[in-house]
């Protein structure tokens, strides 16, 4: 017999994995439990396989997620957002580092929400010199990727025993990545903030600047430094309207360029709230690059520059005379035919009329003589009191740190000669902001409000001080309008907006107190519309020079008045002012006044008198009355529109006897004082020495 062969293990496995044989129908009918006995091993094996398959799927998914996370992290760290190595937590220099975590600084906006200053996150690069092995090589490599850095200076910053040294304050993302790619140990990054000024040069003297650590240096940045730091998410809203600011800057810059001046200034002020809508000082600089600015560019001519205001101060003299009741706009007249002599010195008019002038004519023709005689009516003490009331003797409390104190005579030195020169804007120096603030009070009904650079809520009534009666303010508005329609300010007129104001040309003083030849300030100050005043404007050009278009003149009527007119024509529609009909009778009546108002009929017994002292009351000394300076008017007078033509022998005015009496007494009193006066102060001597030759009146266009 053949021995049976050993069983094949593969056959056994194949048998076990083989599909089970279904039972026959007979076996099924016999009720045998064959399927139960034969299928149990197969079901158990299937269950084991199913469990193994689930575990494999779960393990594969886990490994897939793990490798996916690692790949995603690697992609982010190397491609999307590459990061520098973290600094060691135990860095000792942390306590000695001058850099701190940026706390944030609030943005500054204009009144309409336009951003004027904002802090943005930047990356700073610093080094730990102790960790730098080869400073020269590192400096050379850094200079290649950061060309703005000097390699020789970098060597000095990378050398030494200190543990912290700034290399660059603000890196762009590209520059940061380039430095990071160098892989130099000892170079570190720090997140900080940098102040940006999106409007560039616009409003730079209002905003000011900050230093490298974000602390305010000047302007509103310094004045409101604590507020900007404490409320970083609350924007500081200024009163500036950037549209008005740009229009004003363009006009002042054009006037400077046309007349080759060395600088200029401009202000637009809301006369009812005191909000400064625009403030320009030229030359200026880029607010984001203060390091390149010169001292002349950083100088704020509006709030720090003090200048003799010239004939613009005649508005204050006229307002004081009306408010004190020492003159009447309809009946008063002033002698502009004879120069005023004070000792060895003489005050006269530039291109004067050589005759007596009415009250409106004194302003329209910008007569120094008329203003001086007008001031004699109220005297030096009341003049000083009025100037103090108008804010001309103190510093203006506007919300910037750069403000100047006016230069005025002391109280015990405010004499008659000071009174006369100050009446036409000489012998006193104030800032342009002083002038426009005072004129705003004259035009707005007589309320003086401190100017502000902070936006006021709509409808806010800011407190103020009454300095003039409403009647005086109304009369002054008529006179200001007259200067623009018939006087030296014609260039400022804009049809439909009824501009009123006053020109002023003042000689500049030198460092030793004397006046500088051919160095002048040409300015215009006014308000609009005069029938319902809303805004005041001031435009000034420093040291303008004549050109062919101005026919050889560089006075304010040629230089500043047209610039003010161009500003008004641009900003009035922007500010929502609709032009009126220039020939509207009701408006013309409300803002008009004749150059020569009608006089009342003389009382019985009163005769028409020539402008001379009343008989029997004495006459001034001969030198004061007979002088070559009061020769008859030239055959070809200066052409002035609407100027009256009067024969010299004919009495110019029918004046009441009482008015003539008072004027004669004033002339006698002044002449007697002039004979006894001796000038010892250099400032007074310089003022009078130039009063005639360097007259501050303006040319009528």
* Residues with Cβ within 8 Å of residue 89, at least 6 apart in sequence: none
Exposure string over 216-242, b if 16+ CB within 10 A, otherwise e: bebbbbbbbbeebeeeeeebbbbbbbb
At 554, give phi and psi (nearest 5°): -135, 35
Secondary structure class of 508 (helix, strand, coil): strand
Catalytic position from the list 311, 332, 338, 550: 311
Any idea how long the chain is? 701
DSSP string spanning 92-120?
GGGTT-S---------EE-TTS-EEEEEE
* Residues with Cβ within 8 Å of residue 468, at least 6 apart in sequence: 319, 323, 441, 442, 445, 446, 476
Radius of gyration of the chain (CA): 43
Q: Are strands 236-237 and 108-109 parallel, antiparallel or unpaired?
A: parallel
Q: How far is CA 134 from the centre of its chain?
A: 50
**Could you report how far apart the first and last alpha carbons of the chain are, in Å?**
150
- Spatial distance between the Cα atoms of 136 and 23, rounded to a whole number of angstroms: 94
* Residues with Cβ within 8 Å of residue 133, at least 6 apart in sequence: 185
Exposure string over 310-339, b if 16+ CB within 10 A, otherwise e: bbbbbbbbbbbbbbbebbebebbbbbbbbb
Tell me the H-state helices in 134-198: 135-145, 151-158, 173-182
> Could you confirm whether 569 is annotated as catalytic?
no
Of residues 323, 370, 243, the one with CA closest to residue 697: 370
The helix (run of H) or strand (run of E) holding residue 171 is strand 165-171
At 417, give phi and psi (nearest 5°): -65, -35
Catalytically active residues are: 311
């Amino acid at each position: 017999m053949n021995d049976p062969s050993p069983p094949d293990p593969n056959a056994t496995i194949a048998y076990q994995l083989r599909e089970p044989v279904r039972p026959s129908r007979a076996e099924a009918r016999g009720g045998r439990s064959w399927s139960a006995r034969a299928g149990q091993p197969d079901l158990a094996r299937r269950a084991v396989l199913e469990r193994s398959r689930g575990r494999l799927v779960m393990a594969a998914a886990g490994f897939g997620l793990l490798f996916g996370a690692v790949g995603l992290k690697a992609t982010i760290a190397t491609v999307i957002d590459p990061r520098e190595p973290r600094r060691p937590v135990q860095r000792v220099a942390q306590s000695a580092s001058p850099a701190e975590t940026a706390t944030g600084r609030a943005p500054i906006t204009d009144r309409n929400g336009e951003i004027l200053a904002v802090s943005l996150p930047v990356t700073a690069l610093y080094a730990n010199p102790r960790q730098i092995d080869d400073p020269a090589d590192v400096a050379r490599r850094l200079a290649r990727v950061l060309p703005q850095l000097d390699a020789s200076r970098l060597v000095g910053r990378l050398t030494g025993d200190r543990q912290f040294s700034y290399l660059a304050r603000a890196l762009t993302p590209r520059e940061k990545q380039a430095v990071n790619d160098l892989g130099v140990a000892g170079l570190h990054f720090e997140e900080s903030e940098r102040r940006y000024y999106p409007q560039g040069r616009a409003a730079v003297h209002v905003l000011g600047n900050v230093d490298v650590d974000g602390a305010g240096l000047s302007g509103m940045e310094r004045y409101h430094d604590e507020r900007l730091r404490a409320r970083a998410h609350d924007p500081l809203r200024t009163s500036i309207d950037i549209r008005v600011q740009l229009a004003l800057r363009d006009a002042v810059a054009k006037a400077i360029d046309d007349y080759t001046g060395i600088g200029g200034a401009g202000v637009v002020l809301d006369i009812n709230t005191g909000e400064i809508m625009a403030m320009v000082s030229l030359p200026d600089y880029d607010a984001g690059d203060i390091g390149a600015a010169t001292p002349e560019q950083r100088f704020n001519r509006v709030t720090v520059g003090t200048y003799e205001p010239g004939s613009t101060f005649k508005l204050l003299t006229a307002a004081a005379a009306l408010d004190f009741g020492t003159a009447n706009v309809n009946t008063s007249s002033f002698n502009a035919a004879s120069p005023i002599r004070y000792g060895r010195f003489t005050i006269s008019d530039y291109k004067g009329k050589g005759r007596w002038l009415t009250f409106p004519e004194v302003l329209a023709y910008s007569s120094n003589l008329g203003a001086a005689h007008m001031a004699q009516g109220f005297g030096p003490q009341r003049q000083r009191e009025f100037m103090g009331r108008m804010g001309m003797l103190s510093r203006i409390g506007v919300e910037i740190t750069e403000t100047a104190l006016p230069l005025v005579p002391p109280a015990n030195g405010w004499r008659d000669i000071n009174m006369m020169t100050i009446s036409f804007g000489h012998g006193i120096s104030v800032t342009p902001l002083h002038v426009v603030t005072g004129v705003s009070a004259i035009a707005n009904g007589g309320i003086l409000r401190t100017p502000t650079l902070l936006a006021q809520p709509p409808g806010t009534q800011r407190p103020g001080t009454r300095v003039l009666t409403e009647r005086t303010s109304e009369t002054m508005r008529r006179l200001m309008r007259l200067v623009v329609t018939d006087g030296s300010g014609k260039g400022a007129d804009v049809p439909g907006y009824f501009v009123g104001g006053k020109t002023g040309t003042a000689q500049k003083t030198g460092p030793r107190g004397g006046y500088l030849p051919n160095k002048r300030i040409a300015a215009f100050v006014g308000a609009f519309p005069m029938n319902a005043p809303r805004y005041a404007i001031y435009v000034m050009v420093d040291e303008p020079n004549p050109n062919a278009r101005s026919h050889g003149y560089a006075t304010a009527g040629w230089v500043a008045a047209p610039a003010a007119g161009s500003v008004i024509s641009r900003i009035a529609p922007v500010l929502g002012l609709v032009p009126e009909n220039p020939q509207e009778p009701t408006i013309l009546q409300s803002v008009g006044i004749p150059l020569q108002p009608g006089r009342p009929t003389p009382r019985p017994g009163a005769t028409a008198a020539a402008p001379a002292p009343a008989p029997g009351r004495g006459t001034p000394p001969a030198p004061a009355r007979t002088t070559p300076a009061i020769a008859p008017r030239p055959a070809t007078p200066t052409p002035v529109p609407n100027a009256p033509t009067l024969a010299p022998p004919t009495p110019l005015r029918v004046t009441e006897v009482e008015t003539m009496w008072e004027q004669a007494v004033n002339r006698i009193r002044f002449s007697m004082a002039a004979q006894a006066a001796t000038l010892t102060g250099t400032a007074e001597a310089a003022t009078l020495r130039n009063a005639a030759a360097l007259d501050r009146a303006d040319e009528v266009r």
